[in-house]
Structure 1
Amino acid sequence: MKHLPKHLRPRWRYLAVELETWPDATLRRGSFQRELWFAAQNLYGDVGSADADLTVLGFTFDECVAETIVRARRGHVDDARAALACIDAVDDHPVGVRVRGVSGTVRACSERYLHGRTGISEERDVVFENESRTAVVRNLLLDVSGPDGFTGATQLDFE
């Protein structure tokens, strides 16, 4: 079977995506892929989501932050961004989704936009709401552990 000529092959755009979650969560590629497909299907229907053909390529998760590349057909980058914006949880863990950038090749996308967040986290005891609590500190962000889960804070909240 012959390959299609270059002018007939599908053209792709690659979105560098960052997901941020609470310290006790774990994210997996398959779960994120499923949430992305559901979001696209709910937003554009079966035909629209199939036309955009959103696929998760690679997935790394380390210390509350996941990085991945999402492949979309050229001309459907705005659709992919909208579908990503609809994702608020993966495996019942709340997530924040951010598109760092868009590129025409996987290599350029990876080199330009990924591996940029190498913050080291540490645990620290803090006083929050007049009680001593444990907090996970990443860069200038603090996730304070409480009876109802985690609360996000910054260094300015403790000064």
Structure 2
Amino acid sequence: MKHLPKHLQPRWRYLAVGIETWPDADLDRGSFQRDLWYAAQNLYGDAGSAEADLTVLSFHFTEGDGETIVRAHRGTEERARAAIAALDSIDGHPVGVRVRGISGTVRACEERYLNGRTGHGQQRDVVFENESTPAVVRDTRVDVEVEEGFAGATRLDFE
């Protein structure tokens, strides 16, 4: 089969997305893709979500921090941003997502906005509610283990 001429080929935009959740969450590309499709479908219906054609290209996630690239048709970037913003949980784990930027090529998207920015957490003990408690420390964030799961804090809360 022959390729389409350049002027007939679909034009894409690539959205760099940062993902943040509790350290014990285990997310993968498939679950992120599924929940993104559901979010787009709930916002725009079948026809609108098919027009945007949101596809997760790369997915990296470790210890509560992650990043991914989402592909969307040119002209549907705002719809893609809204669908991504509508994600409040992935595979039952609460998440925070943020579009870091939009680019015209995958390479430019990786170089400008991603480049392995996911931080690796350190396991250490902190004093929380007057007791020594295990926590995961990532940059300026501290996720303290409590009975119900985790409690979010910053380094300023402990200094």
Alpha-carbon spacing, 1:139–1:125, altered in 2? closer, same or farther (3 Å): same
Where 2:78 maps in the other structure, the secondary structure is: helix
Q: Does the CA contact (< 8 Å) of 2:62 and 2:120 recur in 1?
A: no
What are the superposed Cα offsets for residues 64-113 of structure 1, whole Å, 9 maximum, x if unpaired? 11111000000000000000000011111111101111000011111111
Q: Which amino acid aligns with 1:71?
A: R
Q: Which amino acid aligns with 1:96?
A: G
Q: Which amino acid aligns with 1:104?
A: G
* 2:121 is the counterpart of 1:121: yes
The match for 2:134 is 134
Q: Does the CA contact (< 8 Å) of 2:25 and 2:63 recur in 1?
A: no
The match for 1:154 is 154
The match for 1:61 is 61
Alpha-carbon spacing, 1:75–1:37, altered in 2? closer, same or farther (3 Å): same
The match for 2:88 is 88
Where 1:25 maps in the other structure, the secondary structure is: coil
TM-score (norm 1): 0.96
The match for 1:17 is 17
Q: CA RMSD in A?
A: 1.1
Counting aligned pairs with the same residue, the percent is 72
Stretch moving more, 126-135 or 80-89: 126-135
What are the superposed Cα offsets for residues 117-140 of structure 1, whole Å, 9 maximum, x if unpaired? 253321121121222211110111
The match for 1:109 is 109
Structure 2 unaligned segments of length 5 or more: list them: none
Aligned equivalents of 1:127, 1:151: Cα separation in 2: 13
The match for 1:79 is 79
Aligned equivalents of 1:37, 1:118: Cα separation in 2: 24
Q: Does the CA contact (< 8 Å) of 1:27 and 1:66 recur in 2?
A: no
TM-score (norm 2): 0.96
Q: Does the CA contact (< 8 Å) of 2:14 and 2:109 recur in 1?
A: yes
* 2:46 is the counterpart of 1:46: yes
